[in-house]
Amino acid sequence: MRARVATLALLVAALLLAVVALGLGDYPLSVPEVVRALVGDQGFASTIVTEWRLPRVLVALVFGAALGVSGALFQSLTRNPLGSPDVIGFSTGSYTGVLLVTTVFGTGTLGVSAGALIAGLGTALVVYLLAYRNGVQGFRLIVVGIGVTGMLHGVNVWLLLRAKTEVAMAASIWGAGSISLTGWSQAVPAFVVLAVLTPLVWASSGPLRQLELGDDAAGAHGLRVESTRLLVVVLGVALIATVTATAGPIAFVALSAPQIARRLTGSPGLPLGASALTGGLVLLGADVIAQHVLPTAVPVGVVTVVLGGVYLLALIVQEARRRW
């Protein structure tokens, strides 16, 4: 009962925040004006809402949901709250692929998406192989992932230094994690990919719950442990790569959203639905702060890094207290 109430509350909060966000800007609109514009009222307000502001709000909600689900997948897989794709290197690997495509090959949107996905999967494969010792343990995967992340950061800096000035500046700004320039033409392809991935993710939730019981128990129930784990890794990387290819590496949403959702729902595991809603709510809230609360508008990734740093510090303090 608590989980259903919490999930419903998250959904209502996300919808209310979306309506408020659609009314904010240089041309402010009231909530009734936003609602009328959404239901088909023609006029200047409709253009502002549906053409200018709606893509950004939907991108924040959908991409935040994808980040939240990706984080839930990896944290369930590693059975560790630090098992997030931006901590263990998969987000950084996707960004490396984007930088290679843009600074070396100079291809278009399709090439950027392919580069993010291929590099993300390649990073996941490297981390998986380096962490494999008669199976993959969550703690080992995190430690190896952190090491690979550090190496990829160095590669990314080198790619930016050798690129042309204008390309490097654009890539650096985009690399902070930004949805400010995301219109319908960029959002729709990403939405299609995420829509295709969604049923696959839900189908993997059952085997994932069995993995949470431990490899021995999952194997005793007939589950192919390593193949299932590899499938979950591929799905999680595909989610994070889709977001990174479109909006850049947005940090800490995947880390914090699943844990917040678990505490709100009181679930023993990490609920995928609540994690998706929490991720959308967190990213949209961070974007509202980035656009309208700070003195100067900044990329949303800057805000999520600050919020995520506070969350990570609180998590470390809580873990230290628990151990002592």
Q: Residue 34 is part of a domain; what is its CATH number?
A: 1.10.3470.10
From residue 300, how far is each of 9, 28, 62, 153 by CA, in Å? 24, 21, 14, 20
Residue 41, amino acid: D
Q: Which of 114, 145, 110 is nearest to 233 (CA)?
A: 145
State the Cα–Cα distance between residues 198 and 105, nearest whole angstrom.
Answer: 31
Q: In the prediction, which pLDDT does 287 show?
A: 93
Single-letter amino acid code for the residue at 20: V
> How many CB atoms are closer than 10 A to CB 34?
23
Quote the crossing angle between the two packed helices 138-162 and 109-131, to the nearest 10°. Answer: 140
Q: What is the pLDDT along the chain (324 residues), one digit of tens a residue?
A: 788 899 999 999 999 999 999 998 888 888 888 888 888 777 788 888 888 889 999 999 999 999 999 999 988 888 888 778 888 888 888 888 888 888 877 666 677 778 888 888 888 888 888 887 766 666 777 888 888 888 998 998 898 888 888 888 777 777 788 888 777 888 888 899 999 999 999 988 888 888 777 767 767 767 777 788 888 888 988 999 889 888 888 988 998 899 889 888 888 778 889 999 999 999 999 999 999 888 888 889 889 988 877 877 777 777 667 666
Residue 33 belongs to domain spanning: 2-323
Q: What is the pLDDT of residue 64?
A: 95
**Rg of the chain in Å (alpha carbons):** 20
d(CA 284, CA 174): 18
Q: Which of 27, 36, 183, 163 is nearest to 106 (CA)?
A: 163
pLDDT score, position 11:
94
Q: Decide if 142 contacts 149 (C-beta within 8 A).
A: no
| Reported pTM | 0.90
* Whole-number Å distance between alpha carbons of 32 and 19: 9
Total domains, the chain? 1
Amino acid occupying residue 15 = L
Separation of alpha carbons 189 and 110, rounded Å = 10
